[in-house]
Amino acid sequence: MVAAHREAGTTGCLPTLITDRSEVIERLAATAQACLKIPGVHGFHLEGPALNKSRKGIHPEAEIRVPNGRDLAAIKSFGDCGRSVVTLAPECVPVFMIDELISAGLRVAAGHSDATASEIGQVVDRGVSGVTHLFNAMSQLNAREPGLVGAALGDDRLFAGIICDGIHVDPTGLRIAFRCKGRDRLMLVSDAMPLAGTNDRQFMLQGRQITLHDNRLTGPDGTLAGAHLTMIEAVRNAVALAGISLVDALVMASRTPAAFLGLESELGRIAPGYRADLVAFRPNFEVVGTWIGGVASERG
């Protein structure tokens, strides 16, 4: 996974586990420290299982749940695994659980949520700092209830990740998000699924066939199933679809995610004292080389 995405300009990532059984979370937890030795792995993203079933997206409804003691212990262990993130629906878990996750060293993001703006404001006060996949699988901005979208756009304390593939979010929505959040709070994310870096057109996800057609990944019922997107493509699309400057798009792909993860003093700038995680690409966005910690990839 890391090698494939490095070829497409990603020098740091959070491998993601979506909603699954307790034993699957524990299996990842058991190998997490070893995975951190792979250059480019900064931590992990646990997307679920504490989601709102009404905003489940492709996540398996049968496994969506409030974490029990076993789940919570496994999830909290990721607080010692680099800079890891948990996505949850704040309205679906007790507040003590959010407090425990943050105290364990995890970043907590709101996503797959039907929360009101007021509910989001309350958990942001407690330390929730991110929004996963802005506009997708969340309560929308309406006249009398701003929802999670409105809270994300209006609260400068929140970082927001956005999938810039031209499918998950309309270009107008991208432009609105950029105007509201700016380059220092809006982050480009790939949300990439296993087909990235391959020529395959299908894969199995928890027993369901996911098919790629016209750059769109869907399950059997047509539900979007992640994205077929690399980071260099996200940067290119931000420029081409939303009219964002190349400099701002690059900040959204590097310095801003680093700040969200608490790595702003190490990554995201080309400056003395910062780690030399670098990407070289041509004007047509073809990646020609990458370096992690100053060490070139074979391609570089």
Neighbours of 73 (CB within 10 A): 15
Give the alpha-carbon dihedral of 62, 65, 69, 74, to 10 degrees: 80
What does the DSSP 8-state code read for residue 91? G
C-alpha torsion sign, points 58, 66, 112, 236: negative
> In terms of C-beta density within 10 A (0-12 exposed, 13-18 middle, 19 or more buried), how is residue 32 classed?
buried
80 is catalytic: no
CA separation for the pair 267, 40 (Å, rounded): 12
Instruction: Return the amino acid letter for 158.
Output: L
The answer to whether 97 and 75 are in contact (CB under 8 A) is no
> Beta strands 130-131 and 287-292: pairing type?
unpaired
For the chain, the distance separating the N- and C-terminal CA atoms, rounded to the nearest angstrom, is 18
Out of 191, 200, 248, 277, pick the active-site residue: 191
Measuring CA to CA, how many Å separate 297 from each of 10, 16, 199? 12, 23, 22
- The strand pairing partners of 138, in sequence order, are 113
Rg (CA), the chain: 18
Query: Which positions are catalytic?
Result: 191
